[in-house]
């Protein structure tokens, strides 16, 4: 592993434009293109492509194309998770998604952050922080999860919310930035937390 990639995975400042990361991007590009082109293919073929693209993928994971990511290799998705259309998972740092997670359309999980200093930003410097989504989380359509955020299990994030800070387990959060509006009850039938 080259120094630039090591720095990226360590959460240090790095420049994402080098030969090794470029090769990783080309691999991802080919696999995402195959997955997105084969949306109507047999489930076994889609599962095979996902297994090759992602770092780890649990049983019965469903991702509706189109699906986009930076590398794929740093994404882990637990069993029975559903990801709707137009997901963007930028995995310059690990993205860990638990089991039984529901992810609405147009959701973005973002690990990279860019330099605020204009000169360093122009030079291309960035760093990344992991995103972690707990078991049984529901992210509504258009949710954006920012670098370094952890969302606790059984939490629901309302459509269009921007999650800039960690959210605890078992809450409903909405808005930009997302804020907790109430605790959710566990158990029960339809509509229960």
Rounded alpha-carbon distances, angstroms, from residue 95 to 100, 124, 183: 16, 22, 25
CATH topology of domain 3-183: UDP N-Acetylglucosamine Acyltransferase; domain 1 (2.160.10)
Rounded CA separation 123/159 (Å):
35
Read off the tokens for 39. 């949306």
Residues 154-185 pLDDT 10s = 999 999 999 999 999 999 999 999 999 999 98
- pLDDT band with cut points at 50, 70 and 90 for residue 43: confident
Residues 49-59 have pLDDT tens digits of: 999 999 999 99
Q: Would the pTM of this model clear 0.75, i.e. be above it?
A: yes
- Give the tens place of pLDDT for each residue, 94-130: 999 999 999 999 999 999 999 999 999 999 999 999 9
- 177 φ, ψ (degrees, to nearest 5): -75, 155
Q: How far does Cα 36 stand from its chain's mean position?
A: 17
For residue 72, the tally of other CB atoms under 10 A from its CB is 24
What is the average pLDDT score of the chain? 93
70: part of which helix (H) or strand (E)?
A: none
**Cα distance between residue 89 and residue 96, in whole Å:** 11
Helix axes 19-37, 43-53, angle to 10 degrees: 170
Domain extents for the chain? 3-183
Q: Which residues are catalytically annotated?
A: 114
CB 169 within 8 A of CB 150: no
């Amino acid at each position: 592993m080259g120094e630039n990639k090591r720095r990226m995975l360590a959460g240090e400042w790095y420049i994402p434009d080098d030969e090794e990361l470029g090769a990783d991007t080309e691999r991802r590009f080919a696999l995402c293109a195959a997955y997105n082109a084969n949306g109507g293919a047999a489930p076994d073929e889609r599962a095979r492509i996902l297994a090759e693209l992602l770092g780890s993928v649990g049983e019965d994971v469903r991702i509706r194309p189109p699906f986009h990511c930076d590398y794929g290799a740093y994404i882990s998705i637990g069993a029975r998770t559903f990801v709707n259309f137009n997901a963007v998972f930028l995995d310059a740092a690990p993205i860990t998604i638990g089991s039984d997670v529901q992810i609405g359309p147009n959701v973005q999980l973002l690990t990279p952050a860019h330099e605020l200093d204009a000169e360093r930003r122009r030079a291309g410097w960035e760093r990344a922080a992991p995103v972690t989504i707990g078991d049984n989380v529901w992210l509504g359509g258009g949710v954006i999860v920012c670098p370094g955020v952890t969302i606790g299990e059984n939490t629901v994030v309302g459509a269009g919310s921007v999650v800039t800070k960690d959210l605890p387990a078992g809450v409903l959060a909405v808005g930009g930035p997302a804020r907790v509006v109430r605790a959710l009850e566990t158990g029960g039938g339809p509509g229960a937390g």
